[in-house]
Structure 1
Amino acid sequence: MERRYASHPSQVKQFDTERLRQEFHIPKLFTPDALELVLTHEDRMIIGGAAPVNSDVKLETDLKELGVEYFLERRELGVINVGGPGIILVDGTAYDLERKDCLYIGMGSKEVIFRSKEAANPAKFYLNSAPAHKEFPTAKTTLAEAESGAMGSIENSNERTIHRFIHESGIQSSQLVMGMTQLKSGSMWNTMPAHVHPRRMEAYMYFDLPEDAIVIHLMGEPSETRHIVMRNEEAVISPSWSIHSGAGTNNYTFIWSMAGDNKKYADMDAVSMKALK
Structure 2
Amino acid sequence: MFERTYYATHPDMMEGATNAQLRDRYLVPGLFRAGEIVLTYSHGERFVIGGAVPGETPLDLPVQTEPASAAGHPLLERRELGVVNIGPRPGWVTVDGEIVELDRYEALYVPMGTRAVSFAGEGARFYLLSVPAHAPFPLRKVTLAEANPMQRGSLEGSNDRTIYQLVLPHLCASASLCLGLTQLKPGSVWNTMPPHVHERRSEIYLYFDLAEDQRVFHYMGKPDDLRHIVVGDGEAVISPPWSVHMGAGTSNYTFIWAMAGENQDYNDMDVCDLCQLR
Q: TM-score range by the shorter chain?
A: over 0.9
Superposed, 1:171-250 pairs within 5 Å as 171-250=172-251
Q: Offset at 1:169?
A: 0.7
Equivalent residue in structure 2 for 1:112, among 88, 111, 117: 117
Unaligned 5+ runs, structure 1: none
CA distance in 2, matches of 1:65, 1:179: 30
CA contact (8 A) 1:168 1:265 kept: no
CA distance in 1, matches of 2:218, 2:117: 32
Q: Offset at 1:85?
A: 0.7
**How many residues of Structure 1 are paired with residues of Structure 2 in the alignment?**
273
Equivalent residue in structure 2 for 1:59, among 54, 58, 61: 61
Work out whether 1:82 is the aligned partner of 2:96: no
Aligned to 1:145: 146
Unaligned 5+ runs, structure 2: none
Work out whether 1:72 is the aligned partner of 2:76: yes
**What is the DSSP-based 3-state SS (H/G/I as helix, E as strand, rest coil) of the residue aligned with 1:20?**
helix
Q: Quick check: 61-70 or 152-161, which moved more?
A: 61-70
Q: Quick check: 170-179 or 58-67, which moved more?
A: 58-67
Q: Offset at 1:272?
A: 1.1
Deviation per residue, 1:75-121 (Å, 9 max, x gap): 000010001210000000000000000000000110000001xx3xx
CA distance in 1, matches of 2:142, 2:69: 31
Cα gap change, 1:174 to 1:141, in 2 (>3 Å): same
Cα gap change, 1:149 to 1:6, in 2 (>3 Å): same
Q: Offset at 1:217?
A: 0.4
Work out whether 1:4 is the aligned partner of 2:6: yes
CA distance in 1, matches of 2:78, 2:212: 38
One-letter identity of the residue aligned with 1:102: A
Work out whether 1:124 is the aligned partner of 2:125: yes
TM-score, normalised relative to structure 1: 0.96
Q: Offset at 1:193?
A: 1.6
Q: Quick check: 26-35 or 171-180, which moved more?
A: 26-35
CA contact (8 A) 1:130 1:259 kept: yes
CA contact (8 A) 2:153 2:193 kept: no
Aligned to 2:254: 253
CA distance in 2, matches of 1:67, 1:254: 35
Equivalent residue in structure 2 for 1:17, among 19, 26, 35: 19
Q: Runs in 1 of length 4+ with deviation above 2 angstroms?
A: 61-68
Deviation per residue, 1:25-62 (Å, 9 max, x gap): 01111111111111100010111100101221111154
One-letter identity of the residue aligned with 2:56: N
Cα gap change, 1:175 to 1:66, in 2 (>3 Å): farther
CA distance in 2, matches of 1:266, 1:65: 36
Aligned to 1:50: 52
In percent, how many aligned pairs have the same letter? 47
Aligned to 1:99: 104
Q: Offset at 1:66?
A: 8.6
One-letter identity of the residue aligned with 1:156: G
Cα gap change, 1:271 to 1:43, in 2 (>3 Å): same
CA contact (8 A) 2:220 2:226 kept: yes
**What is the DSSP-based 3-state SS (H/G/I as helix, E as strand, rest coil) of the residue aligned with 2:146?**
coil
**What is the DSSP-based 3-state SS (H/G/I as helix, E as strand, rest coil) of the residue aligned with 1:194?**
strand
CA distance in 1, matches of 2:113, 2:171: 20
Q: Quick check: 265-274 or 73-82, which moved more?
A: 265-274
One-letter identity of the residue aligned with 1:14: G
CA distance in 2, matches of 1:229, 1:66: 36
TM-score, normalised relative to structure 2: 0.96
Deviation per residue, 1:103-156 (Å, 9 max, x gap): 00000110000001xx3xx11000110100011011001112211110100110
Work out whether 1:26 is the aligned partner of 2:28: yes
